[in-house]
Structure 1
Amino acid sequence: MKPILSHAVRAACLITVLTTSVHAQNLAIVNGKPVPTARLHALEQQMARAGRPLDDNARQQLREEAILREIFVQEAERRGLRARPEVKAQLELATQTVLIRELFADEQRRRPVTDAELRAEYDRLAKEMGQEYRARHILLGSEDEAKAVIAELNKGARFEELAKQRSKDPGSAAKGGDLDWASADQFVPEFGQAMARLNKGEVTREPVKSPFGWHVIRLDDTRAAQVPPFEDVKPQLQQQMQQQRLVLFQEALRARAKVQ
């Protein structure tokens, strides 16, 4: 009897090992059909891409979702829905979507944006930012009103006081017309160009017309543009450069394709 028992024990152990292996590869068995663990991993990757936290509770919900998906698909297969032409077309589109997404991800892995490229782009953008201006203005409703204000300034009136009394700009009037530091292109062209032509401490000799009305402008100071530190803008800059590189990749593929 000992050899028989020995064979029985070995067989039981083998069955246990095989069963454990099957469960390791499969999330569950639904109506006799295995649900691969890889499906759960795919759902987890989707959640991670969406930026959602992946804790134990979320994993349990995804496990249940994977099982429900298999149940629903089995019912759809039982009804013969996969054979319908419109379903086939949608499945083809879904396959294309997945492949295109992975193609773009693979391209970004193959051609990542390097730190040297990021630094070079940062330096280029910083150089382009140029100057910032600290200006004040008084916004009036007519050219005559603006000319009258300029005349009062020429006689010694304080710009800040006239701005508080006369300016129609609610955002700056209470601050004596102060517009804080800004680059010229942050204003409408008429205003920005007139401001940039002024010397420090100078007031516009003629009113400046813009879509908002008539301006009297004084330039208080200038400085080199204040650029955020490289590390602060690095993530946004990297995303932007990756997207630009991906657009060039798409355009190159389109140009090489033979479309008849």
Structure 2
Amino acid sequence: MKEKQNLRTQIMHGIAAAAVLSMLVSPAFGAQVPATAPGAHATLPAGVVARVNGVAIAQSEVDAAVRQSGQADTPALRTSLKNQLIARELFRQVAQKQHYDTHADVKAGIEQAKAMLMMQAYLRDAIKPTPVTDADVKAKYDAIVASLGQNEYKPSGIMVKDAATAKTVLDQLKKGGDFAQLAKQYSQGPSAAQGGTLNWVSFKTPIVEGQTQGWPKPVAEALVKLPQGAVSSEPIQVGDAFWILRVDQMRPTQIPTFDQSRAQLRKELEQVAAAKATAQVVTDLVKSAHIEK
């Protein structure tokens, strides 16, 4: 019963929040906020766009709200966002006046937010990824180019977990079944929802273990042997999984220039460096901690 009450409370809070948000973003809301509140001075200090019971709302707050909105910066948007900030300040003031800051759930939320901000600040200082140099980016580019073959392939794949299901899929394909629909129905691979469609890929032949861009070697070997439009005649087993491939398109390998690839490669290398640095911080903390499970 208590769980049902909690769920009902959450739903009602969600409905209330949605109603408030809908009101704030509606064009009619702007008309409900007067340009100058009764008793307020018409002239505001530089950098202040509004005052709510003496509390200033800065121009910088509106600027930040515009950036966060992701919308085109227009006078109408700025007016709408300013009115939302006014409403938010009104809500804050009345909640504080009625001592909502003493409510248990508010205190718990403040503590959670405080803990999250502390962790984020600590991680910004503690995680020191190894800087990615221009030489690192060029080396990564050269390694990728060296791993590419003469042709590249746009495949689709169906990955299942047992031989019987693989046979069922192949039998249906041989009877004219739609590959994409069968992928959505049977595949447990990462692109099942997209009908098994996979990204363009190229392998230098003969296939060498560790130079297959993350593909299992048996699958890469089977792929380069298939002509365009063909489906693998037998399931390709990789551990406990069974793959069925189709080559949707094939073309001579198209290699982007280094300048075209530089930004993306740098981003990927920086992500790897950040992950390594984070893992090292966690390892060091675990070693010095007393953890009971």
TM-score by length of 1: 0.50
- Describe how 1:140-179 pairs up with structure 2 within 5 A: none
- Describe how 1:171-210 pairs up with structure 2 within 5 A: 183=202, 192-193=220-221, 209-210=234-235
For residue 117 of structure 1, what is the aligned residue in structure 2?
136
The one-letter code of the counterpart of 1:259 is A
Structure 2 counterpart of 1:229, from 253, 257, 267: 257
Residues 80-134 of structure 1 show CA distances to partners (whole Å, capped at 9, x for unaligned) of 1112232122123334445656777789999764444333322222223344368
For residue 81 of structure 2, what is the aligned residue in structure 1?
62
Residues 123-149 of structure 1 show CA distances to partners (whole Å, capped at 9, x for unaligned) of 222223344368xxxxxxxxxxxxxxx
For residue 151 of structure 2, what is the aligned residue in structure 1?
132
Question: What 5-or-longer segments of structure 1 have no aligned partner?
Answer: 1-18, 135-165, 172-180, 202-206, 216-220
Question: What 5-or-longer segments of structure 2 have no aligned partner?
Answer: 1-41, 154-173, 180-199, 204-211, 237-241
Distance in 2 (CA, whole Å) between partners of 1:117 and 1:69 is 48
The one-letter code of the counterpart of 2:93 is Q
DSSP 3-state at the match of 2:137: helix
Residues 126-179 of structure 1 show CA distances to partners (whole Å, capped at 9, x for unaligned) of 223344368xxxxxxxxxxxxxxxxxxxxxxxxxxxxxxx996989xxxxxxxx
Residues 16-49 of structure 1 show CA distances to partners (whole Å, capped at 9, x for unaligned) of xxx97x62243322112223444334434433xx
Identity of aligned residues (%): 24
Structure 2 counterpart of 1:239, from 267, 278, 282: 267
Structure 2 counterpart of 1:71, from 74, 82, 90: 90
Distance in 2 (CA, whole Å) between partners of 1:62 and 1:129 is 51
Distance in 2 (CA, whole Å) between partners of 1:191 and 1:45 is 46
DSSP 3-state at the match of 1:209: coil
Structure 1 counterpart of 2:103, from 59, 77, 84: 84
For residue 61 of structure 2, what is the aligned residue in structure 1?
39
DSSP 3-state at the match of 2:101: helix
The one-letter code of the counterpart of 1:61 is S
Give the paired residue count: 185
Name which one, 1 or 2, has greater alpha-carbon Rg.
1
> In 1, are the aligned partners of 2:127 and 2:281 still within 8 Å (CA)?
no
Distance in 2 (CA, whole Å) between partners of 1:188 and 1:230 is 27
Distance in 2 (CA, whole Å) between partners of 1:240 and 1:183 is 19
Distance in 2 (CA, whole Å) between partners of 1:115 and 1:35 is 44
For residue 282 of structure 2, what is the aligned residue in structure 1?
254
> In 1, are the aligned partners of 2:145 and 2:255 still within 8 Å (CA)?
yes
For residue 12 of structure 1, what is the aligned residue in structure 2?
none
> In 2, are the aligned partners of 1:190 and 1:208 still within 8 Å (CA)?
no
Distance in 1 (CA, whole Å) between partners of 2:140 and 2:260 is 14
> In 1, are the aligned partners of 2:128 and 2:274 still within 8 Å (CA)?
no
Compute the displacement of 1:56 (Å). Answer: 3.4
The one-letter code of the counterpart of 2:91 is F
For residue 27 of structure 2, what is the aligned residue in structure 1?
none
> In 2, are the aligned partners of 1:190 and 1:210 still within 8 Å (CA)?
no
